[in-house]
């Protein structure tokens, strides 16, 4: 295992507004994937269809309203990173009228870290656009 991937982004909206984009499947899909299934309760199912047709899956580990959401993560059909094999934690930290969003992805194999860092930087940018009322547009993935 490698150290965790940590990506931070300040969003000009209060934590309660950002939180909705982490627990509502349609709002989650607006920035994270082509389609999302989410039961935002501990033990609930998480599934995200990416623009490239791959599916990430896991289960919700924790939900603290307006503070944190965490879920396990992995890819269906990916032998090195199967569903539920890693942990994604998204913290919402109040920051002068806005929110510092800190995403920590842990338990990744060393060869997965750089790709997931690029991916999460891309998706945090899309989250900021969506929370701000904009349309992040059709997602082409981190390389697109």
Residue 96 in this model has a pLDDT that exceeds 70: yes
Q: What is the pLDDT of residue 80?
A: 84
- How large is the average pLDDT for residues 109-119? 90
| Least confident residue range of 14-18, 71-75, 139-143 | 139-143
Residue 138 in this model has a pLDDT that exceeds 90: no
Phi and psi torsions of 16, nearest 5°:
-60, -35
Architecture of domain 5-131: 2-Layer Sandwich (3.30)
pLDDT, one tens digit per residue, over 18-58 is 999 999 999 999 999 889 999 999 999 999 998 888 999 99
Residue 142 in this model has a pLDDT that exceeds 80: no
Contacts 24+ apart (CB under 8 A), 12-15: 12/97, 12/98, 12/132, 13/98, 13/99, 13/131, 13/132, 14/94, 14/97, 14/98, 14/99, 15/66, 15/67, 15/92, 15/93, 15/94, 15/99
Contact between residue 30 and residue 36 where contact means Cβ atoms under 8 Å apart: no
Edge-to-edge strands of the sheet including 68-73? 5-11, 98-106, 86-95, 68-73, 55-64, 45-49, 35-38
Q: How many angstroms separate the Cα of 124 from the Cα of each of 21, 42, 76, 82?
A: 11, 23, 23, 23
Is pTM beyond 0.85? Reply is yes
- How large is the average pLDDT for residues 88-110? 96
pLDDT averaged over the chain? Answer: 93
Nearest-CA neighbor of 86 among 127, 41, 126, 119? 119
Q: What tokens appear for 95 in the block? A: 């920051």
Strand partners, 100: 10, 93
- Looking up tokens 């389609």 gives 35
Q: What is the pLDDT of residue 104?
A: 98
């Amino acid at each position: 295992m490698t150290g965790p991937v940590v990506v931070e982004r300040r969003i000009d909206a209060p934590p309660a507004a950002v939180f909705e984009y982490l627990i509502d499947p349609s709002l989650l899909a607006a920035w994270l994937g082509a389609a999302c299934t989410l039961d935002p309760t501990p033990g609930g199912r998480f599934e995200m269809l990416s623009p490239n047709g791959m599916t990430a899956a896991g289960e919700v580990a924790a939900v603290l309203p307006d503070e944190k959401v965490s879920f396990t993560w992995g890819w269906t059909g990916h032998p090195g990173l199967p569903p539920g094999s890693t942990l994604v934690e998204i913290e919402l930290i109040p920051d002068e009228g806005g929110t510092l969003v800190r995403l920590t992805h842990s338990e990744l194999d060393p060869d997965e870290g750089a790709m997931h860092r690029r991916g999460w930087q891309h998706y945090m940018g899309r989250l900021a656009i969506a929370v701000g009322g904009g349309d992040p547009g059709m997602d082409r993935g981190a390389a697109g």
